[in-house]
Amino acid sequence: MTVTAEAPFVRLENIIKNYGAVRALGGVELTFNSGECVGLVGHNGAGKSTLMQVLAGNVQPDGGELSVLGQNESMSYGVQRALELGVRCVFQELSLCPNLTVVENTRIRHPSITGFGWRKRASLLIRSFLDDIFPGNSIAVDDLVADLTLGQRQMVEIATVFAKTTSSLRLVILDEPTSSLDHAIAGQLLAYVRRFVTEGGCVILISHILGEILSTCDRIVVMGDGRVVEERPAARFTKHSLVEAMGHVNHAPQAHQPETVVKARTAPVVAEIQPPRRGSMTLTARKGEIIGLGGLAGQGQTTLLVLLQRSAGRHISFARCSGPVAFVAGDRQTDGVFPLWSIGQNITIRSLGTMRRFGLIDPKKEREMERRWKERMAIRTPDMANNIYTLSGGNQQKALFARALASDAEIILMDDPMRGVDIGTKQEVYHIIRSEAAKGRTFIWYTTEFEELTSCDYVYVLRDGAIVSEMPRSEITEAKVLQSSFEEVAQ
């Protein structure tokens, strides 16, 4: 790396972004220079993706300064401006149109390909870049994207981003680019990234495969809680020091709960699941236990919970649940609340079956349940007949908990329900979960926050849909969970 006197390609100063009460980015300071590859790592919710969305112009930061080549661009920065400046991004969720062919998708990414004969030009362009980046690929450019495999789609996505037309290409953001590529193809991509960087481009590489980051990048930035916590040349990191740097993100070590005594696992097994076609490890939950599901976000935890729910009262070969099940959704908007209903109705829906009188719902019993759970969960509202959206996010989540706890369910599945909930509410809910578990209910709890795992009796870590490690409460440490979450370190 030669040190140049000119201004860095992109400089970020004190970038802030809030989503409601949640601080996604809390003052990020970073520079990206031409001719270098920067690795960006961090645990779930560290703010990596949000930061990249800011760089790509999709998200407007709430504060801070973004300058490109020494020019302050904060005022006018957006998708268009980012494209003009030569900033492009391969997003984690693919951004190809499945109903179009590879050639047509290239056209969408490159506005300059237009007019008579555009099809031929787009076809030549994408063909040459596909063959340049991934020699020996078997992708036909006239194929519909929907007909390609996931890996091939990722290759097409990468090739369309690197394809150069009239506009310049200065900075490419690769967000988990190798997640669906096999080893050899991933190697081809990383080799191409190095070539691109040598020719003066800049690449930001986000990946949870640490070996990749260490071998490809010049500099590695570790993020946590919306800030940069560590920044060093890649050569001064090892896999272990990298994992450690990510672990330090977490706030002061928590005071241990008094009841850290490990319960012997003797109670009867109430739920059991083995992820289909993914490894041989099995999850077992016993009566009265709180089971934690850890690992990086989106490694199959939610799928596991959904499968468990489906297995209740039905025969499925991978999973077994004895007793009624309730599900606490994490994504309130899509599968949690009934937006047009009152708070009370949102709570009682799961239990209407038990409140019938002559086949109709008994309003007295319904009000009774609403009142009881308003008190029990301390839901802050003057009237349970108000619409659910009059509540704050945390209180909506409490209502969803109440829905599950008020029901006859013996097994309660939780899909990262504390996302974006304030700390006070969390404490209240933890307390209720513990007391309900003591009464014999079983909780299976997917969470992306390490602290929550420490209040579980037993933790399973998932990676790529498979259970990769299990540990009782006495053995749960952040380093251990992180190590199993990241591939190579675990061994």
Partner 1 sequence: MMPNLMTPRALRSLLPAISFTVLLIGIFYVQPRAMSFMGLNLMLNLALPIALATIAQMFIITMNDIDLSLGGFVSFTACIGATLLGESPVLGVLALLACIGVYALLGALIHVRNLPSIVVTLGMSFVWLGAAILVLPTPGGQAPDWLRAIVSVKTPFVPFVIVASAIIAVGVHLFLMRSSTGVILRGAGGNPQAVARAGWSLFRAKVTLYALAGFFGVLSGLTLVGLTTSADANIALRYTLLSIAGVILGGGEFVGGRVSPIGAVLGALTLTLASSLLSFLRISGDWQIGAQGAILILVLALRTLVNRMERRK
Rule CB under 8 A: say whether 79 interacts with partner 1: yes
Rule CB under 8 A: say whether 254 interacts with partner 1: no
User: Nearest approach, Cβ of 83 to partner 1 (angstroms)?
Assistant: 5
Rule CB under 8 A: say whether 105 interacts with partner 1: yes
User: Nearest approach, Cβ of 112 to partner 1 (angstroms)?
Assistant: 10
**Number of residues located near partner 1, criterion CB under 8 A:** 27
Binding mask 373-412 for partner 1 (x = CB under 8 A): ----------------------------------------
- Sites for partner 1 among residues 314-333 (CB under 8 A): none
Rule CB under 8 A: say whether 469 interacts with partner 1: no
- Sites for partner 1 among residues 147-176 (CB under 8 A): 147
User: Nearest approach, Cβ of 304 to partner 1 (angstroms)?
Assistant: 24
Rule CB under 8 A: say whether 59 interacts with partner 1: no
- Site of tokens 């079956």: 353
Torsion over CA of 260, 265, 269 and 275, rounded to 10 degrees? 80
Rule CB under 8 A: say whether 60 interacts with partner 1: no
User: Nearest approach, Cβ of 81 to partner 1 (angstroms)?
Assistant: 10
Q: Which of 40, 52, 96, 185 binds partner 1 (CB under 8 A)?
A: 96
User: Which residue, 140 or 489, is less far from partner 1 as judged by CB?
Assistant: 140
User: Nearest approach, Cβ of 105 to partner 1 (angstroms)?
Assistant: 7
Q: Which of 11, 17, 48, 109 binds partner 1 (CB under 8 A)?
A: 109
Rule CB under 8 A: say whether 99 interacts with partner 1: yes
Q: Which of 14, 71, 72, 80 binds partner 1 (CB under 8 A)?
A: 80
User: Which residue, 147 or 408, is less far from partner 1 as judged by CB?
Assistant: 147
Q: Which of 66, 102, 113, 271 binds partner 1 (CB under 8 A)?
A: 113
Angstrom distance (rounded) from CA 30 to CA 15: 9
Q: Which of 16, 22, 108, 267 binds partner 1 (CB under 8 A)?
A: 108
Rule CB under 8 A: say whether 215 interacts with partner 1: no
User: Which residue, 95 or 241, is less far from partner 1 as judged by CB?
Assistant: 95
Rule CB under 8 A: say whether 92 interacts with partner 1: no
Rule CB under 8 A: say whether 77 interacts with partner 1: no
Binding mask 118-137 for partner 1 (x = CB under 8 A): xx------------------
Q: Which residues bind partner 1 (CB under 8 A)?
A: 56, 58, 79-80, 83, 89, 91, 94-100, 104-105, 107-109, 111, 113-115, 118-119, 144, 147
